[in-house]
Amino acid sequence: MIGKKNQWSRRRFLMATGTAGLGALMAPVNRLATAAETPTRVPTRPFGKTGVDVPILSLGGMFNIASNQVMMRQALRWGVTYWDTADCYQRGSEKGIGKFFNKYPQDRQKVFLVSKSDARDPDGMTKLLNRSLKRMKTDYLDLYFVHGIYDIDELDDSIRVWAEKAKAAGKIRFFGFSTHSNMETCLLEGAKLGWIDGIMMTYNYRLMHTKGMKRAVDACVKAGIGLTAMKTQGGGSVRTDTDTEIEMAGRFLEKGFTDGQAKLRAVWQNPNIASICSQMPNMSILMSNIAAAVNKTELSFRDTDLLQRYARETHSDYCTGCTNICESAVGEDIPIGDVMRYLMYRRSYGDRHLAMAEFNKIPENIRRRLAITDYSKAERRCPQKMAIGQLVKEAIQELS
Ligand code: SF4
């Protein structure tokens, strides 16, 4: 139900969007920021102490389909020269990049190319790195990540030695890790290591204002670590179910942003974030994100406040990845955070294929245990007050 105080906001919102409502915001309509009106290249920022400037928007994820080849070419023209993939990404992501460099070998030098390893041992990492290089038709990577760490202990001294050797051999320029679990601790501890050049972490308007995250980012900045934000949409599009959602969507529309663009701008307002990695599966999302990147309109305090209010009101819809809290309550091999993330891929990103592929990588014996585990203790501990048991049940039904 819409409260009286927000009837004005609702009227204004509907006048602006027409009867199509928020759905209209998802298309790059004339009055929204579009790439066509801003043909300049995406701005750059220094990536930690590496001495490299990277574009504030990076192209992430899947490079496998034919139309992506055109998109990669266009991305380069607009200055989106930071490309992110991983050995384990489904559907031949690295091969798509290899196909591009095979056709345009001169463009390799223009790209800050990043891939990731699921292995945690030197032999396994060497094998995966060599495979990534071969697939992408290149003899070096600009940045190589250990993929998706939960705890800094996953990076022991053998990995430091491995990274130094890989750099000396000219196979990688910089080294680091990505994380979407326990991000604050991983960043804080990573900053202490002294041999991490870059980190990619889940970071968005829901997470960026907590004391813990601010402290973690500051520690990385002091350590000269380049930071790339991912999952910056914080779980999907704004709906129009509540007063706050309507007020927020209407306000952003008046500024010339979709809610997705406004969420990107919220992250960019922290100058310590070098780049946002965004999966951009089609040209209209690429153009929309580029438009947001080149637009100089700042979000006001009121805009940021609205985003934070929205985050508070929808807290139980969003898993913040603090897996050390819930997983220790049920036994360490029950991957609650992963299951919540796969559900987000399905429901918020609409990527059923990816969600199912990732979910079904969970070993069968653990998947069986997912269904019979008692999550009540984890639910009591969860700071987001998520209905973990019910959500796991739904994930099993939707993703198995
Ligand atoms: S389910 Fe709750 S406790 Fe577990 S990772 Fe998500 S937000 Fe944290």
AA identity, residue 375? Y
Binding site membership of 339 for ligand 1 (Cβ less than 6 Å): no
The answer for residues whose C-beta is within 8 angstroms of residue 232's C-beta and 6 or more apart is 203, 204, 205, 263, 264, 267, 276, 278
- Is residue 16's pLDDT more than 50? no
Lowest mean pLDDT among 52-56, 226-230, 268-272, 280-284: 280-284
pLDDT of 39 reads 53
pLDDT of 87 reads 87
Task: Please give the distance, rounded to the nearest whole angstrom, from the Cα atom of residue 377 to the centre of ligand 1.
Answer: 12
- Is residue 22's pLDDT more than 80? no
pLDDT tens digits for range 210-244: 999 999 999 999 999 999 999 999 876 666 677 88
Binding site membership of 326 for ligand 1 (Cβ less than 6 Å): yes
Task: Please give the distance, rounded to the nearest whole angstrom, from the Cα atom of residue 327 to the centre of ligand 1.
Answer: 8
The answer for residues whose C-beta is within 8 angstroms of residue 46's C-beta and 6 or more apart is 52, 53, 226, 274
AA identity, residue 257? F
pLDDT of 271 reads 97
- Is residue 149's pLDDT more than 80? yes
Best mean pLDDT range from 136-140, 236-240, 255-259, 349-353: 136-140
Both tokens assigned to 328: 């220790």
Binding site membership of 386 for ligand 1 (Cβ less than 6 Å): yes
pLDDT of 89 reads 75
pLDDT of 332 reads 64
Share of the chain above pLDDT 70, in %: 87
pLDDT of 238 reads 63
The preferred substitution site among 340, 379, 381, 390 for testing ligand 1, maximizing ligand atoms within 8 Å of CB, is 340
Task: Please give the distance, rounded to the nearest whole angstrom, from the Cα atom of residue 161 to the centre of ligand 1.
Answer: 34
pLDDT tens digits for range 38-70: 457 999 999 999 999 999 999 987 776 667 888
Cβ contact 92:64 at 8 Å: yes
Closest atom of ligand 1 relative to the 181 alpha carbon: 5
User: Which residue's CA is the nearest one to ligand 1's atom 7?
Assistant: 319
> What pTM did the predictor assign?
0.88
Lowest mean pLDDT among 5-14, 126-135, 205-214: 5-14
pLDDT band at residue 268, thresholds of 50, 70 and 90? Answer: very high
The structure tokens 């009286």 sit at: 4
Share of the chain above pLDDT 90, in %: 68
pLDDT of 9 reads 43
Identify the DSSP state of 155. S
Lowest mean pLDDT among 23-37, 104-118, 362-376: 23-37
pLDDT tens digits for range 302-320: 999 999 999 999 888 899 9
pLDDT tens digits for range 55-114: 999 998 777 666 788 889 999 999 999 999 988 876 678 988 999 999 999 999 999 999
pLDDT of 35 reads 47
The preferred substitution site among 384, 385, 394 for testing ligand 1, maximizing ligand atoms within 8 Å of CB, is 384
Closest atom of ligand 1 relative to the 381 alpha carbon: 3
Alpha helices in the chain (DSSP H): 7-17, 66-77, 93-103, 122-135, 157-168, 183-193, 211-222, 243-255, 259-268, 283-294, 301-313, 323-330, 336-347, 352-359, 364-372, 376-381, 388-399
pLDDT of 348 reads 82
User: Which residue's CA is the nearest one to ligand 1's atom 2?
Assistant: 382
Task: Please give the distance, rounded to the nearest whole angstrom, from the Cα atom of residue 337 to the centre of ligand 1.
Answer: 6
The answer for residues whose C-beta is within 8 angstroms of residue 13's C-beta and 6 or more apart is 21, 240, 246, 247, 249, 250, 253
pLDDT of 136 reads 95
pLDDT band at residue 26, thresholds of 50, 70 and 90? Answer: very low
Binding site membership of 335 for ligand 1 (Cβ less than 6 Å): no
User: Which residue's CA is the nearest one to ligand 1's atom 8?
Assistant: 322
pLDDT band at residue 381, thresholds of 50, 70 and 90? Answer: very high
What is the average pLDDT score of the chain? Answer: 87
56 or 252, which is more confident? 56
Binding site membership of 324 for ligand 1 (Cβ less than 6 Å): no
pLDDT of 244 reads 80
Binding site membership of 148 for ligand 1 (Cβ less than 6 Å): no
